[in-house]
Amino acid sequence: MGQGMARNILKKGWPLSVLAHRSRTAVEALVAEGATEVTSARALAEASDIVVLCVTGSPEVSAVTEGPDGLAAAGKPLVVIDCSTSDPAQTVALASRLAAQGITLIDAPLGRTPKDAEAGTLDVMVGGDSAIVDRIRPLLEAFAGRVVQTGPVGTGHTMKLLNNFLSMGYAALYAEAMALGAKAGLSPQVFDSVIRGGRMDCGFYQTFMKYTLERDRDAHKFAIRNALKDTSYLAAYANAVQFANPVGAAVRNSFAAAVGAGRGDDYVPMLADFIAEANGVSLIEKD
């Protein structure tokens, strides 16, 4: 996601400094296109007025903002836009701590896929003060096709968790339905011939089934362990507000079982293989 977002920021004429999170290849490509590389979060803050974070979750956001060489160590006013999928309660607490140091935290998690990041057509859910959101909107629109302000800080991350609850819920349903169908002798091809083009079809279904039917591993590149992280954040939020969420618990447990079985680095559509194998069937069509 981050590389596509950064490339669009550059294309729209914004000066850009970049800090590597995981991929040297991505940073080197961005530097070749005009970005400047820095080697610490503190240096990134020193070179910037607005910092966009795209990391895994709340622990990583806290580390890059409050760590010994983090953004706050620069000792200057900043707007930090957190595009990660984080725990809303931790986001609100972090925003309060950073505000005491002159740093404004905005939560702006993302919808859609890395392909949309490249195309500049991501969905962005933004939580924060309206005046600050208006100020940063032109930057968000450099990589977003749709920007939706959700309310105060923390509501963007809450909405993202609800969005991911729906999508990961679909994944768990598809996986279980196809495995049960396979028990009855119904192949994924037959399953798809009924669902595709009907009322239960959608874009998520199509990328999920592109793996199931065509074995395209890159059809939906979102790891099962990240699905478990997000559904766990939702469970924590539900517990915090004393809300009974039995469906959410069931969805989370599907991913927890896969991670526990060593399948956390698989992508979400591969949950279908895990559920099928656990029930003694295969979704791979035999020649």
Q: What is the pLDDT of residue 69?
A: 95
Q: What is the pLDDT of residue 287?
A: 58
Q: What is the pLDDT of residue 21?
A: 73
Find out whether 12 and 35 touch, Cβ atoms under 8 Å.
no
Distance in angstroms (rounded) separating the CA atoms of residues 286 and 27: 43
* pTM for this model (two decimals): 0.91
Outline where the chain has alpha helix (H): 2-11, 24-32, 41-46, 58-66, 88-99, 114-119, 130-140, 155-183, 188-195, 203-214, 224-240, 246-260, 271-278
Distance in angstroms (rounded) separating the CA atoms of residues 12 and 142: 6
Q: Is 123 helix (H, G, I), strand (E, B) or coil?
A: strand
- Of the candidates 160, 183, 229, 286, the residue annotated as catalytic is 160
Same fold for the domain at 2-152 and the one at 158-278?
Answer: no
Which amino acid would we find at residue 70? G
- Burial of residue 143, with CB atoms counted within 10 A of its CB: 0-12 exposed, 13-18 middle, 19 or more buried: buried
Which amino acid would we find at residue 91? T
**Is CATH 3.40.640.10 correct for 2-152?**
no
Question: Tokens 């953004």 sit at which residue?
Answer: 71
Of residues 228, 230, 229, 236, the one with CA closest to residue 257: 228
The DSSP secondary-structure symbol of 18 reads E
Distance in angstroms (rounded) separating the CA atoms of residues 204 and 222: 12
Instruction: Tell me if residue 11 is catalytic.
Output: no
Domain positions in the chain are 2-152, 158-278
Q: What tens-digit pLDDT sequence spans the chain (287 residues)?
A: 899 999 999 999 999 999 987 778 999 999 999 999 999 999 999 999 999 999 989 999 999 999 999 999 999 999 999 999 999 999 999 999 999 999 999 999 999 888 899 999 999 999 999 999 999 999 999 999 999 999 999 999 999 999 999 999 999 999 999 999 999 999 999 999 999 999 999 999 999 999 999 999 999 999 999 999 999 999 999 999 999 999 999 999 999 999 999 999 999 999 999 999 999 999 997 75
Q: How many CB atoms neighbour CB 105 within 10 A?
A: 28
Say which CATH topology domain 158-278 has.
N-(1-d-carboxylethyl)-l-norvaline Dehydrogenase; domain 2 (1.10.1040)
